[in-house]
Amino acid sequence: MIDMEAKDKFTLGLELPTDPRWINVAEKNIEDILVDHAYCEQKAASSCISLIVNYPEMDAIVDALTPIVAEEWSHFERVLEELKKRGYTLKRQRKDEYVEKLQSALKKGGSRVQQLVERLLLNALIEARSCERFKILWKNIPDQALSLFYYELMVSEAGHYKTFLNLAKRFLPEEDVMERWRELLEQEAEILKTMEVRGDRMH
Ligand SMILES: [Fe+2]
Ligand SMILES: [Fe+2]
């Protein structure tokens, strides 16, 4: 069931709302948006797998992220179906400028746990922004079935965002995690401001 209050929710603390011009260009580029989105889901699954194989001794990571790998992969499969329904194919992946810029904002070095927390917060940030974009797609895409799919994803990615943020708080004190989270939110807003508004990309 659709939660109509979702209109004002699901912005998850982000500092900068998406430029309103994005949806105007995105809805005219559904093929590119779907291809780009498919890769976002693939990368979300890959990123969780990478955390599991890099931190296998941490039960909290393995237990929380294993089901997310399956969910992200099912999202990937569903985006592929949406492409096929429309007679499109996957095509090659484009350079992910947004994620690359976010990665360069992460702190290098530090302890193994600090590195883990940086990565968890990066994932939380990407989930939060994806969730905000799905909300925009849900509200604006005229194709009813596709709009409903985006609604479902918005709810699912909001859950992942919470999981990543809560996981981070299990490894470092909450005040430290939240301070770093606020810094990253500001950096993410700065990064988005420098990026061109493109309708062929999710971010
Ligand atoms: Fe997903
Ligand atoms: Fe997700």
Distance (Å) from CA 163 to ligand 1 centroid: 13
Domain 21-194 belongs to what topology? Ferritin (1.20.1260)
Q: For the residues 160-175, what does the mean pLDDT come to?
A: 97
Of 19, 23, 76, 69, whose CA–CA distance to 45 is shortest?
Answer: 69
Distance 44 CA to ligand 2 centre (A): 6
pLDDT at residue 158 in the model? 94
Q: Can you give the pLDDT at residue 5?
A: 63
- Whole-model pTM over 0.85: yes
Q: Where are the domains of the chain?
A: 21-194
pLDDT at position 165 over 70: yes
List pLDDT tens digits, range 107-145.
Answer: 999 999 999 999 999 999 999 999 999 999 999 999 999
Q: What is the mean pLDDT of the chain?
A: 93
Residue 128 CA to ligand 1 center (angstroms) comes to 11
Would you state the pLDDT for residue 26?
A: 84
| C-alpha of residue 149 to centroid of ligand 2, in Å | 14
Ligand 1 being an ion, which residues bring their Cβ within 5 A of it?
A: 41, 72, 75
Ligand 2 center from residue 141 Cα (angstroms): 21
In terms of DSSP H, where are the helices of the chain? 21-26, 30-54, 59-85, 97-104, 112-140, 144-171, 174-194
